[in-house]
Amino acid sequence: MEESYHFLLPEGILDYFELSEIVEGLTGLQIYLEEKNLPPSEYKNQKLESKGFLPERYIQDFPIRNQRVTLCIKRRRWEVKAAGEIVSRDWDMVQ
């Protein structure tokens, strides 16, 4: 599935996210993405454990063939084992 839709997604998004589902409905096209379990580089020297996902975010993208497109994004969160702190990827740094 990912091979046929990669050209519709923002450049580089599949470096960090996996395409989990695509739904075509009356309201348009919904593309579901889940962040890969690749810990943020600023924590590379620390032991991290995946703790699931943050609440899903919905981003309106450019229409495709007159269909509204919504990116449904699930961002991952990790626990820094030594500190018990919950962290997530800093998307400002990724941009």
- 49-85, pLDDT tens digit by residue? 999 999 999 999 888 888 899 999 999 999 999 888 9
pTM above 0.75, yes or no: yes
Residues of the domain holding 30: 2-94
Q: State how far the alpha carbon of 38 is from the alpha carbons of 30, 52, 65, 75, 76, in Å.
A: 24, 13, 34, 11, 9
- 2-48, pLDDT tens digit by residue? 566 677 788 888 999 999 999 998 889 999 999 999 988 888 889 99
Q: How many CA atoms lie within 13 A of 16 on its CB side?
A: 18
If one counts the domains in the chain, the total is 1
